[in-house]
Copies of this chain bind each other. A is one copy, B any other.
């Protein structure tokens, strides 16, 4: 997996994604407009519409972009040890976002609109299942290697994502990045007490 190529993306797309990121952080989702994204991009809205028909199309592409970045970060983890890989994934999910509170705020707004916006709903489900698949792969490797108990890897991945999503929601609702640290600690407790085999080497 470490030698997979980066997803190809044109410079314009990358710049538009960066502009969307800045506009979302500054204005939140409800007040996000193509004008505000264009202002961050430093070009006209027509220049954005050349690439994306609607704001929702652009935001769906932005969700893909976030997943690409997450997957690239996960590929960069420089170890084959299943426990270390699981820790690194959980750090990417719960420690890295501690520096991106405004993005969490905008993402929770978008998530809360998933029941009303099919395109968001599909993408959130796809992204969740991609990340769960990464967790399941690590868990299966670890079960085979005797580093983890013979648990149900699908449920364990879902359990860890429940803790991740809980920490992120709480960070936004309570305006409190400590919520992410508490969730990271909870995930570590779950890994140590539920997943790690009694007779596994430390």
Contact = CB atoms under 8 A, between A and B. Distances in A.
A105 to B, nearest CB: 5
A173 B114 contact: yes
Interface stretch (A38-46, A81-89, A137-145, A181-189): A181-189
Interface stretch (A6-14, A51-59, A159-167): A159-167
Contact of A169 (B109, B155, B166): B166
A165 B170 contact: yes
Q: How many copies does the complex hold?
A: 2
Contacts of A185: 155, 159
Contacts of A168: 169
A28 B116 contact: yes
B114 A111 contact: no
A186 B187 CA distance: 11
A164 B159 CA distance: 11
A22 B165 CA distance: 27
A71 interface: no
